[in-house]
Amino acid sequence: MSKKFILLALCVAILVAGVYIYKAYIDRSSPRTDKILAWFYDQNSLSEYRMKAGTSCNGAPFVFPTNGLIGFIWDDSFRPGHRHSGIDIFGGTEPGVVPITAAYAGYLTRAADWKSSVIIRLPQDPLQPSRQIWVYYTHMADANGNSFIAEQFPAGTSEVYVEAGTYLGLMGNYSGDPANPVGVHLHVSVVKDDGFGNYTNELEIKNTYDPSPYFGLPLNANKNSDTIPFCE
């Protein structure tokens, strides 16, 4: 087999992969995501879709953890090749204003180096009681890493029991890079257990569950391409 043929085959493979990734990106980006991107320029719009903390939707086990607009959802894509592992709820305010509460009862941990995040262990998944899951909350700090997490959960907190509705902190815009803060929002993800009582890396979508049945809302980008999730 000639080197020229191998090079041509490689180029074709790269092109096909690129087209596939781009198509996946486009499929998850519109028209729902287009509405959210437009909202960033006019945050007085879409007010009819703003959810309220404590709302319970369609008999689902989790209550809504904050006030705001559900923007990016599970398996959304911000760029080709990216897959979003949770949901983003945008407050439409400055950092440190919108309260965040626990969506379900469990045992809260905050690692020693976590400035903006907590994770809550649910020993029994309310949908599948035979397994353990974790619920991760993040971006609770300002751009410089000044934490908005509630004082009762200092860095190093481990296995503190909290009820649903417990105050966790305030919505922020921390990204880890002060020069590039994110928009003010709460990111929530339902994280898999590793089978040994530990949470897995929530940055990888394979380590998370579709949050739709937990919140009773269409939060899966593969199934919801056009509507902004909302319930009264």
pLDDT tens profile 67-112: 999 999 999 976 677 799 999 999 999 999 999 999 999 999 999 9
* 187-210 mean pLDDT: 97
More confident residue, 143 or 30: 143
C-alpha torsion sign, points 161, 206, 75, 201:
positive
Which residues have CB under 8 Å from 156's CB, separation 6+?
110, 111, 112
pLDDT tens profile 10-58: 433 333 333 333 344 444 455 888 888 889 888 888 999 999 999 999 9
* 150-173 mean pLDDT: 98
Cβ contact 74:86 at 8 Å? yes
**Which CATH number belongs to the domain containing residue 72 in this structure?**
2.70.70.10
More confident residue, 133 or 80: 133
Q: Which of 116, 100, 105 is nearest to 167 (CA)?
A: 100
Range of 161's domain? 31-215
Tell me if residue 85 falls in helix, strand or coil: coil
| Residue 166 falls inside a structural domain | yes
Tally of domains in the chain:
1
| Residue 175 falls inside a structural domain | yes
pTM of the complete model: 0.86
Distance of CA 3 to the CA centre of its chain: 46
| Residue 87 falls inside a structural domain | yes
| Residue 102 falls inside a structural domain | yes
| Residue 141 falls inside a structural domain | yes
| Residue 162 falls inside a structural domain | yes
| Residue 12 falls inside a structural domain | no
| Residue 9 falls inside a structural domain | no
Burial zone of 161 (CB within 10 Å; 0-12 exposed, 13-18 middle, 19+ buried): exposed
The predicted pLDDT at position 79 comes to 67
